[in-house]
Amino acid sequence: MISFPRLAATVLLGLLAWPLAPAQAQRELLPLTSTDGVYTPPKGGVMKFSFSWPEPSAEFAGFQFSFRVQTYENAYAIDPARTRLERTGDHLRVLCQGFTWAGGQEKAAGELTADLQRGADGSVEWQVSAKMNQPVKSISTVVRGIPRGQLSLAGENFFNPGDDEKIYEYPQLFGELATPLIVIKKADNSFFSISARQQEVRPARFLLQPGPDSYRAELIYEQAGWDRRQQIQSSRWHIGAAPSYEAAAKPHFDHVVQAYKIPAYATRPDVPAWMRQTKLVVALHGAHWTGYVLNNYAKQLEILRWVATQIDPGQVLVFLPGWDGRYYWNYPLYQADPRMGGDAGFRQLIDEGHKLGFHFSAMFGTNSANRDLPVFKKFAEAITIRPDGDRWDLNWVDWDNDRRGDGWMPVMNVGVASWRNYLRDHISRVITEYKVDSYFLDIAGLWENNRQADMYLGTQQLVADLARRHPGVLPIAEMQYDALLGVIPVAQVPRYSQYPAAYSLYASSYSHLSTPAPGRGSTGVHEWGFGNHRPISETQRTIPTITFADDTFDKYREQVAKDIQTAKARKAL
């Protein structure tokens, strides 16, 4: 392991032995490798090359920059013998006319250009492009000199990663990057940001590899998997110091709003008036995956008649997870369940609920379909295939409690017309037949690079088609990434707790369907089982949400009543 303070001696010795190169590049490129300046072996590692990969690096604005290109068959470093640097004031251009592979042992044809610009505040922005004689998958910038500290991922709370190497990805469903921004809080309580300033939704990966004094970072832009061009241009990357979290985050979020044309929530036309008056969401859990019915339609209507005695129903959104029978197993049939009361029972629930003044949202799976159902053949082509060719199954849930994830349900690609149109038509049918006021798009925040089509554009098209058919019917998303804020104005699970204005100025939110119910803390139809119920707070950020499991109404009605009173007293934030 070579500590960063010792690099100066290593660089001077390496320069003497470095292959012949143009005079300027030989004078300025530092002969670093992937193991320089970081803990080797790592104290908590990720997969990597088992040798020192060449990283000839250019010094700029106090950082060291190198580049790597990944195709579908190998990885390539810039060839220092065929690279030159052009410096003009606060600008650096790296021009590479060839690559090496096999860790520098072989050479390959190709081109790479990187343009780096230093701002007046010392920040650096750049883009990098490359051409090869084969399809290019992704392009990496290696940056040394990133300060260490606590991390905030996509506007969420800070944590200490210690000496572990960490990889974070955008857009990532499971709690990593809902926007491609990482903010570092240094020991002196100043801040440093790393972000991708994108114009379209594409994968952005961040590897933070610690050494004693700083991070070696890999910032990776991946081309669309359905785009097999032999050239690539990255998004614009940004790094820089800031005196406060807001100063670090605001420019990034300002860019997001501009890039995806996100309207202000206060005036956006896709929010109906009743949603602006909503003070409470009640989630009435229906049928579990196993077929266990927590609340049938008649019981749900009984609950609503009681709720109407506690709060103005016009201020309540009724959310219906598991309304269509066996949760997830019945996706994508979207039919009233006979065991819960059938068509007549579901229609009575909605009609009588509307007479009381409630508004309803029914649940649909944006990207989930049971391949064992006969209907699956209609859209089987929409199974998600990742860029490297592997099929992606929704196999991270243990539905049957055999203590292993079940893979009978593939992830469906809403960018593919056959699936999107099927889903659109079934949502439209439910809206038309039952007059629901809203539709909920389960796992809408999932975006995965793939070989077929853009899931973001597919979601955008789905919502636009439904808006034309059903003006005023509200779309709701689960776990949005940043670009979806411009498409869907309400979601389960808010974002950006460290900088809430970046979310709350543009969208509203309520709690997830897995929110533990009063009493034993059942998560209803959700797979998480039980958790600790948290009473509603008058100061909470999200719209108060009460979930009703099988025993909530019968045994814990008094606790529910207290939560409703708190929800009525809460002032919208």
Q: Do 312 and 224 fall within a single domain?
A: no
Q: Do 109 and 229 fall within a single domain?
A: yes
Q: Do 147 and 286 fall within a single domain?
A: no
Q: Do 186 and 283 fall within a single domain?
A: no
266 domain-assigned: no
370 domain-assigned: yes
Give 318's contacts (C-beta < 8 A, 6+ positions apart).
281, 282, 284, 304, 353, 358, 359, 360, 361
* Domain of 70, in residue numbers: 4-259
What are the percentages of helix, strand and coil residues in the chain, rounded to 5?
25, 30, 45
- CB atoms closer than 10 angstroms to residue 18: 18
Q: Which amino acid is at 202?
A: R
Q: Do 307 and 447 fall within a single domain?
A: yes
Q: What values do phi and psi take at 289, rounded to 5?
A: -55, -40
265 domain-assigned: no
Indicate the pTM of the whole model. Answer: 0.93
Distances (CA, A) of 563 to 52, 100, 274, 474, 556: 59, 64, 21, 25, 11
Q: Do 242 and 364 fall within a single domain?
A: no
For residues 496-502, give the mean pLDDT. 95
**Residue percentage of the chain with pLDDT more than 70:** 95
pLDDT of 22 higher than 60: no
87 domain-assigned: yes
Domain boundary among 198, 225, 259: 259
Q: Do 242 and 291 fall within a single domain?
A: no
270 domain-assigned: no
pLDDT attached to residue 27: 59
8 Å CB contact between 249 and 183: yes
Query: DSSP of 189-229, one letter per residue?
Result: S-EEEEEEE-SS---EEEEEEE-SSEEEEEEEEE--TT---
Q: Do 244 and 340 fall within a single domain?
A: no
Locate all alpha helices (DSSP H) within 277-412, ordered by sequence. 297-307, 342-356
- Please report, for the domain that includes residue 336, its CATH number: 3.20.20.70
Q: Do 360 and 232 fall within a single domain?
A: no
pLDDT of 135 higher than 50: yes
Q: Does residue 171 have a cis peptide bond before it, meaning omega lies within 30 degrees of 0?
A: yes
Question: For the chain, how far is it from start to end, CA to CA, in angstroms?
Answer: 51
Distance CA 324, CA 289 (A): 11
Distance CA 180, CA 486 (A): 16
Domain boundary among 203, 233, 259: 259
Distance CA 479, CA 493 (A): 6
Map tokens 């469906």 to a residue.
412
- CB atoms closer than 10 angstroms to residue 332: 21
pLDDT attached to residue 8: 35
Under the banding of pLDDT at 50, 70 and 90, the label for residue 175 is low
Total tally of structural domains belonging to the chain: 2
Under the banding of pLDDT at 50, 70 and 90, the label for residue 28 is confident
Task: Give the sign of the dihedral formed by CA 351, CA 356, CA 357, CA 360.
Answer: negative
271 domain-assigned: no
Mean pLDDT of the chain: 94
Among 152, 128, 146, 134, smallest CA distance to 221 is for 128
8 Å CB contact between 360 and 300: no
Q: Do 137 and 242 fall within a single domain?
A: yes
pLDDT of 11 higher than 60: no
pLDDT of 443 higher than 90: yes
**Residue percentage of the chain with pLDDT more than 90:** 93
For residues 388-393, give the mean pLDDT. 93
Of 263-267, 491-495, 510-514, 564-568, which range is least confident?
Answer: 491-495
pLDDT attached to residue 545: 98
Q: What values do phi and psi take at 426, rounded to 5?
A: -75, -35
* Beta pairing, strands 106-108 & 99-101: antiparallel
For residues 26-32, give the mean pLDDT. 83
264 domain-assigned: no
Under the banding of pLDDT at 50, 70 and 90, the label for residue 573 is low
HSE-CB for 238 with a 13 A CA cutoff: 23
Under the banding of pLDDT at 50, 70 and 90, the label for residue 2 is very low
Q: Do 53 and 184 fall within a single domain?
A: yes
268 domain-assigned: no
For residues 93-115, give the mean pLDDT. 98
Domain boundary among 197, 228, 259: 259
pLDDT of 572 higher than 80: no
Query: DSSP of 463-500, one letter per residue?
Result: HHHHHHHSTTPEEEEES--GGGGGT-SEEES---TTST
- Which two structure tokens, joined as six digits, stand for 437? 């006021």
Among 361, 321, 367, smallest CA distance to 513 is for 321
Q: Do 248 and 385 fall within a single domain?
A: no
Residue 455 falls in which region: left (phi positive, over 0), alpha (psi -120 to 50) or beta: alpha
Residue 565 pairs in a beta bridge with: none
Which segments of 80-135 are extended strands (E)?
83-88, 91-96, 99-101, 106-108, 111-118, 124-131
For residues 13-40, give the mean pLDDT. 66
- Please report, for the domain that includes residue 211, its CATH number: 2.70.98
Distance CA 440, CA 444 (A): 9
Tens-place pLDDT, residues 317-368: 999 999 999 999 999 999 999 999 999 999 999 999 999 999 999 999 999 9
Count the residues in the chain. Answer: 573
pLDDT of 46 higher than 70: yes
Under the banding of pLDDT at 50, 70 and 90, the label for residue 519 is very high
Distances (CA, A) of 251 to 198, 237, 240, 489, 496: 13, 13, 11, 22, 14
Burial of residue 558 (CB within 10 Å: 0-12, 13-18, 19+) is: exposed
pLDDT of 174 higher than 90: no
pLDDT attached to residue 1: 36
pLDDT attached to residue 9: 33
HSE-CB for 20 with a 13 A CA cutoff: 0
Distance CA 174, CA 177 (A): 8
Map tokens 């005196």 to a residue.
243
For residues 375-384, give the mean pLDDT. 98
